[in-house]
Amino acid sequence: MRNSPKLYVASLIMVLLFGPSHELPPFWPATTVTMTNKLGGPLLTVHCKSKENDLGVHMVAANTDYFFTFQPNIWKSTLFFCSFQWNNQVKQFDIFDAMRDQDDGYKQNWTIRLYGPCKLGKKVNCFLWK
Ligand SMILES: *[C@@H]1O[C@H](CO)[C@@H](O)[C@H](O)[C@H]1NC(C)=O
């Protein structure tokens, strides 16, 4: 009996450390990533995936947005990569990379521009398409 609180804590830690992330209750709010078409006219086609999920193909008109919501895992390995197509262009970008993005809050906003995506915030962080 004396040991049971310790056992309880030990099993809790085991569950936290080794439980599969998608079955854990959410310990922190879900993250929403929003992408706004700022290409200056063209219709944008966005297709985002993670290792486990295919979020499908979405058509995003000029100056409108597409967003998705997910629960990042506790190991900072969550990765969502997207393809962006317009006119005859096809570009790829990791729109959520936990190592880069996980500490930037639960609402992350990007603008999709001709030269690359920009992450909004106190400091705007722009990337060039590869
Ligand atoms: C992203 O947009 C939402 C909705 O407009 C806003 O509440 C939030 O503060 C924005 N976050 C950043 C980091 O710009």
Domains with residue ranges and CATH for the chain = 23-126 (2.60.40.2890)
pLDDT exceeds cutoff 70 at 52:
yes
Q: Which residue puts its alpha carbon closest to atom 13 of ligand 1?
A: 121
pLDDT digits 0-9 by tens, 99-112 = 999 999 999 999 99
Residue type, 49: K
Burial (0-12, 13-18, 19+ Cβ within 10 Å), 129: middle
Place of tokens 């906003």: 109
Residue 4: what pLDDT? 75
- Mean pLDDT within 6-20: 66
Place of tokens 């993670």: 50
Q: Which residue puts its alpha carbon closest to atom 3 of ligand 1?
A: 107
Three-class DSSP category at 106:
coil
Pocket-testing residue among 31, 103, 107, 108, ligand 1, by greatest number of atoms within 8 A of Cβ: 107
106 in contact with ligand 1, CB cutoff 6 A: no
Nearest to 44 by CA among 21, 70, 65, 30: 65
pLDDT digits 0-9 by tens, 29-38 = 899 999 999 9
pTM equals: 0.80
pLDDT exceeds cutoff 80 at 22:
no
Nearest to 66 by CA among 52, 80, 79, 77: 80
